[in-house]
């Protein structure tokens, strides 16, 4: 995008030019632990199963612990898929400064203004923004905002995000996807049965938390979600 402030420290992961939102994992370390998984191992297995983007979301984790998680996850999978940092632009910048191949950030409506986020992270980072109304989608699509994709939600009731907006349902989700000028990923209580409906509505991806972080087998859970997006049975996936 033109008009973005240059940042010579930007990490050039190459993902901003082309990234696949279809099977998008948002992490929850508490759910992972409850299911008996180390978070980094879970992310690695999920990527092996077909996850195409990883967003590290650890809202209740101190900054130094969050940074450690970002560094370890990036080491495990950042050469394969984009690794995004939720909300904490400072953690993203610190990880990048330490050599991590982090690809960008995802911020919400109550975080730093996205134009300021873009100025901080530079032109090569992916910037995602949460949205749930037509006005928010319109603002995100303004070129000067520097947003690469929007996360629309919540589709279904969810307990994984304390400040999640009310459930939209599939009909309203389809309306918002149609309004967006940017690639869209749906989020919020998404299960396997929602994935084909979201693709049919024109979304570019489905973001999940519990469907992978709470799964007995994260690799197989990711494989099933990727297969559902592709429109084939999980057993038919290569």
65-100 residue pLDDT tens: 999 999 999 999 999 999 999 999 999 999 999 999
Low-confidence residues of the chain, pLDDT below 70? 1-12, 159-165, 232-238
| Cβ–Cβ < 8 Å for 49, 218 | yes
Predicted local confidence at residue 163, as pLDDT: 61
180 is catalytic: no
Catalytic residue (choose from 96, 101, 118, 161):
161
Residues in the chain: 238
According to CATH, the topology of domain 23-233 is TIM Barrel (3.20.20)
Predicted local confidence at residue 12, as pLDDT: 65
Catalytic residue (choose from 57, 88, 101, 118):
57
Predicted local confidence at residue 13, as pLDDT: 76
Predicted local confidence at residue 83, as pLDDT: 98
Predicted local confidence at residue 11, as pLDDT: 55
161 is catalytic: yes
Predicted local confidence at residue 160, as pLDDT: 67
Predicted local confidence at residue 7, as pLDDT: 40
219 is catalytic: no
In the numeric block, the tokens 């509505």 are attached to: 201
Classify residue 12 by its DSSP letter.
-
- Predicted TM-score (pTM) of the model is 0.90
29 vs 19: CA distance, rounded Å: 24
31 vs 18: CA distance, rounded Å: 30
Q: Collect all residues with Cβ–Cβ distance below 8 Å to 7 and sequence separation of at least 6.
A: 119, 120, 121, 122, 123
Catalytic residue (choose from 29, 130, 132, 180):
130
């Amino acid at each position: 995008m033109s008009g973005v402030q240059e940042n010579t420290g930007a990490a050039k992961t190459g993902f901003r030019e082309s990234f696949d939102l279809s099977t998008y994992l948002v992490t929850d370390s508490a759910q992972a632990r409850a299911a008996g998984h180390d978070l980094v191992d879970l992310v690695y297995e999920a990527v092996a199963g077909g996850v195409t983007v990883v967003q590290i979301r650890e809202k209740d984790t101190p900054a130094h612990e969050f940074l450690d998680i970002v560094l370890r996850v990036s080491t495990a999978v950042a050469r394969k898929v984009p690794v995004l940092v939720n909300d904490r632009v400072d953690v993203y910048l610190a990880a990048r400064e330490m050599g991590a191949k982090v690809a960008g950030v995802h911020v919400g409506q109550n975080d730093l203004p996205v134009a300021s986020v873009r100025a901080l992270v530079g032109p090569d980072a992916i910037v995602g923004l949460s949205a749930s109304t037509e006005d928010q989608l319109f603002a995100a699509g303004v070129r000067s905002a520097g947003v690469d994709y929007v996360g629309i939600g919540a589709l279904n009731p969810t307990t994984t995000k304390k400040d999640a907006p009310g459930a939209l349902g599939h009909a309203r989700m389809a309306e918002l996807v149609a309004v967006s000028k940017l690639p869209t990923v749906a989020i919020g209580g998404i299960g396997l049965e929602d994935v084909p409906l979201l693709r049919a509505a024109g979304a570019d991806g489905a973001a999940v938390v519990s469907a992978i972080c709470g799964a007995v087998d994260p690799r197989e859970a990711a494989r099933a979600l990727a297969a559902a997006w592709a429109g084939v049975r999980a057993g038919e996936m290569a």
